[in-house]
Amino acid sequence: MVFQNSLEFARQLDALDSLSHFRNEFHLIEGKIYLCGNSLGLQPKAARAAVEQEFFDWQTFGVEGHFDGKNPWFHYHKFLTQKTANMVGALPQEVVVMNNLTVNLHLLMVSFYRPTATRYKIIMEGGAFPSDQYAMETQARFHGLDPDKAIIELMPREGEYTLRTEDIIKTIEENADSLALVMMGGVNYYTGQAFDMKAITEAAHKAGAYAGFDLAHAAGNLLLQLHAWNVDFACWCTYKYLNSGPGGTSGVFIHERNASDTTIPRFGGWWGHDEATRFKMLKGFKPTSTAEGWQLSNAQVFPMAIHNVSLEMFERAGMSNIRAKSELLTGFLEFLLNEVDTKKQFEIITPKNAEDRGCQLSLLFAQNGRATFDKLLENNVIADWREPNVLRMGPAPLYNSFEDMWHTAQAMKSV
């Protein structure tokens, strides 16, 4: 599409947008343009009633709410399963919602990072989100390994900001004899680069290693096909693109071939135990032969009630429609930002190709980045600042409008 730098053009795009009505289903922040959905998504209006329902059932039924409530808590996580599977391109038996992201990352590594004397290396992206770095580092130490020897961090080429798929694959091939796991983000939180998960998974498998992904910045953002891509496992948080509230619960994917294998070692808890005999309280852990076999505890009903509302919206909008709007919205913002940056004060380091990014644009500043971010706030644009020098903008297709993009560019121009 050929974009135009005008308010009329932005309004035309909004008029043509079949998802524009979803904006009314969110609590927008009065007088502000919110571009921080990649950090904490806005609140769906229906979230409150969903939580109220569970308060009501708790107050009315007490413990009997596990079976007699409107949405029985005993298998509350199952209300989320099909919608989660649709959202990430998985089979229902491959997904479960539980815990929080970093907790799940560790639980999955217990199963899928079991280093031996010869096969012990992890390949990850350099500059990964700190929690992921700490998880990899402490997993290596937990197995008595030196993180500097066990972890290979992929770095961009000299003068580049993002990774080339060919370089990722080359590193995998070069370490084929000693590689245990390739563990990457789906989208890097800093640069906004989306990785070719299909190609990376294929290369990891060829090398005899597992392939896992942290989809914190990819779930609800990219069109994922985790099952078809043969990904071994993945996990994601739900409070960023998935609008499920601060500290919200987390989603997990375990490919069917792994999920059905009850001999895979794991940390067990009663909610992962075979459902038919769970309440017989017998000795001997017998895992459910699906992704639910990795659950430890009973369902976190309150955060899941919010997440269920959000997943229902994604289901109604359709992930492919969301992605189509997202590409257009981000493309429009990119066009407008380049229009107003006449003095070349920043560089957009996010890949230009829509296939290689989600909705986020990362603006690298040589100087005055932090001041620009602060001034934007004064001008009612809530973006996001990441040390040392990147300003991130993440327009969310369910609640940001094309007109928002135009006002954002005007605010950039004025600061």
Answer for which of 13, 42, 90, 101 binds ligand PLP (CB under 6 A) is 101
3-state secondary structure the chain: CCCCCCHHHHHHHHHHCCCHHHHHHECCCCCCEECECCCCCCCECCHHHHHHHHHHHHHHHHHHHHHHCCCCHHHHHHHHHHHHHHHHCCCHHHEEECCCHHHHHHHHHHHHCCCCCCCCEEEEECCCCHHHHHHHHHHHHHCCCCHHHHEEEECCCCCCCCCCHHHHHHHHHHCCCCEEEEEEECECCCCCEECCHHHHHHHHHHCCCEEEEECCCCCCCCCCCCCCCCCCEEEEECCCCCCCCCCCCEEEEECHHHHCCCCCCCCCCHHHECHHHHHHCCCCCCECCCHHHHCCCCCCHHHHHHHHHHHHHHHHHCHHHHHHHHHHHHHHHHHHHHHHCCCCCEEECCCCCHHHECCCEEEEECCCHHHHHHHHHHCCEECEEECCCEEEEECCCCCCCHHHHHHHHHHHHHC
Stretch that binds ligand PLP, among 51-59, 94-102, 306-314, 341-349 (CB under 6 A): 94-102
| CB 113, CB 180: distance < 8 Å | yes
Kindly state whether residue 213 participates in binding ligand PLP, applying the rule CB under 6 A.
no
Taking the complex as a whole, the smallest distance from the CB of residue 292 to ligand PLP amounts, in Å, to 20
In the complex with ligand PLP, the residue whose CB is nearer, 250 or 290, is 250
In the complex with ligand PLP, the residue whose CB is nearer, 214 or 404, is 214
Kindly state whether residue 212 participates in binding ligand PLP, applying the rule CB under 6 A.
no
In the complex with ligand PLP, the residue whose CB is nearer, 131 or 298, is 131
In the complex with ligand PLP, the residue whose CB is nearer, 127 or 287, is 127
Kindly state whether residue 380 participates in binding ligand PLP, applying the rule CB under 6 A.
no
Q: What does the chain come to in residues?
A: 415
In the complex with ligand PLP, the residue whose CB is nearer, 13 or 234, is 234
Taking the complex as a whole, the smallest distance from the CB of residue 282 to ligand PLP amounts, in Å, to 33
Taking the complex as a whole, the smallest distance from the CB of residue 121 to ligand PLP amounts, in Å, to 20
Kindly state whether residue 336 participates in binding ligand PLP, applying the rule CB under 6 A.
no
Kindly state whether residue 102 participates in binding ligand PLP, applying the rule CB under 6 A.
yes
Taking the complex as a whole, the smallest distance from the CB of residue 103 to ligand PLP amounts, in Å, to 7
Distance CA 297, CA 295 (A): 6
Answer for which of 100, 221, 310, 400 binds ligand PLP (CB under 6 A) is 100
Answer for which of 132, 232, 334, 384 binds ligand PLP (CB under 6 A) is 132
In the complex with ligand PLP, the residue whose CB is nearer, 102 or 111, is 102
Answer for which of 237, 309, 361, 381 binds ligand PLP (CB under 6 A) is 237
| Number of residues forming the site for ligand PLP (CB under 6 A) | 12
Kindly state whether residue 214 participates in binding ligand PLP, applying the rule CB under 6 A.
yes
Kindly state whether residue 304 participates in binding ligand PLP, applying the rule CB under 6 A.
no
Kindly state whether residue 392 participates in binding ligand PLP, applying the rule CB under 6 A.
no
Kindly state whether residue 217 participates in binding ligand PLP, applying the rule CB under 6 A.
yes
Binding flags for ligand PLP, 162-201, as an x/- string (CB under 6 A) = -----------------------x---x------------
Task: Provide the angle, in degrees to the nearest 10, between the axes of the packed helices 81-88 and 301-317.
Answer: 50
Kindly state whether residue 26 participates in binding ligand PLP, applying the rule CB under 6 A.
no
Kindly state whether residue 99 participates in binding ligand PLP, applying the rule CB under 6 A.
no
Distance CA 311, CA 87 (A): 8
Answer for which of 42, 123, 209, 216 binds ligand PLP (CB under 6 A) is 216
Kindly state whether residue 222 participates in binding ligand PLP, applying the rule CB under 6 A.
no
* Chain CA centroid to CA 295, Å: 20
Q: Interface residues with ligand PLP (CB under 6 A)?
A: 100-102, 129, 131-132, 185, 189, 214, 216-217, 237
